[in-house]
A and B are shown apart, each in its own frame.
Chain A
């Protein structure tokens, strides 16, 4: 569709620009100002140049948190995308089952993020949780399951929670993609006597490419920013084993009130996210063009 060329359209965009700029630009400028100063108290600050950046870039705990973050986001994609596709394939195509499945799937997405953490505390505690008690009563594990004591178990619990929470989103998107495939394709496949596997590989998967790209990018971005759920569940522990970037940042900036280092950290984090956002946007646009053309 050819669009009208008219710069007056800016008047329609202006309100959005103002409201988002108010929430985005002023805080960003503030962060930049903080990042080059040592702030002792209200109105008392000393210019320190790039010292905080240097300190943060050499910070071992930040490196660890960043590595942990990449590992976590990578695992999230590896598990959630295939699982989500499987679920979408198994979902009913018509009848009352459709809206029932949609409602059940959407349920975890509508729970406040810290309540997700609470649910999983209650569910996995070794003394009162169904999962914790259940797995320990099997006596399969050498070390009894307790996500507050063993880093590995903490990781498993956070992963389980994340997969439980967000796989439905992938499934919903994949389902939307499947629904958009015209029935004629399936009929053609049936006439050719294609196996279900071939139907999946040559028809369904290519047709889902667009929504799956969106799913991959959304899950990558959002898992990169994860905060509330692991914060409530493990508080970043035991030790620092589940301290992801956001958790560490909030620890520095809000809890220890180290404004300077926190701001420098924020900016480094923001630049990394900005790079990903750019790649995200480019890929999305390409997918969009591929579908239209």
Chain B
């Protein structure tokens, strides 16, 4: 499968995040609510939107700028927090 260190790190961190979500869900179950996204969302949905949004932020960064991709990472993290908190 041609594993490399960066891709392995990527998948392990996604997996750890999923485990974290699972534990969080067991400790305090989610309540459905609607924030600035029009739809009503659960915590899992917001997490998914956060990840998907981060992917698109990285792609846009790569497509439109020549700056280092590392800058896109904190931007994605901010997006993730916004979605999780107010989404």
Binding site for B on A (CB under 8 A): 26, 29-30, 32-34, 36-37, 39, 45, 47, 49-50, 53-54, 57-58, 268, 271, 274-275, 278, 282, 286
Contacts and interface: CB of A to CB of B under 8 A. Distances in A.
Contact of A53 (B10, B56, B62): B62
Contacts of A30: 1-2
B10 A50 contact: no
Given A33-B1, A47-B4, A275-B52, A268 B10 contact: no
Contacts of A275: 52, 56
B62 A57 contact: yes
B69 interface: yes
B77 interface: no
A36 B7 contact: yes
Interface residues of B, number: 18
A58 B11 contact: no
Contacts, number: 48
B59 A47 contact: no
Contacts of A49: 6
A233 to B, nearest CB: 32
Contacts of B62: 50, 53-54, 57
Contacts of B56: 271, 275
A271 B48 contact: no
Interface of B: 1-4, 6-7, 10-11, 39, 48-49, 52, 55-56, 59, 62-63, 69
B52 A47 contact: no
Contacts of B52: 271, 274-275, 278
B59 A268 contact: yes
Nearest to A270: B55
B48 A29 contact: no
B11 A32 contact: yes
B4 to A, nearest CB: 5
A34 B56 CA distance: 19
Nearest to B26: A7
A36 B1 contact: no
A275 B59 CA distance: 14
Given A34-B2, A286-B39, 4 more contacts: A45-B2, A58-B63, A271-B59, A275-B56
A217 B49 CA distance: 20
A47 B39 CA distance: 41
Contact of A50 (B3, B11, B39, B69): B69
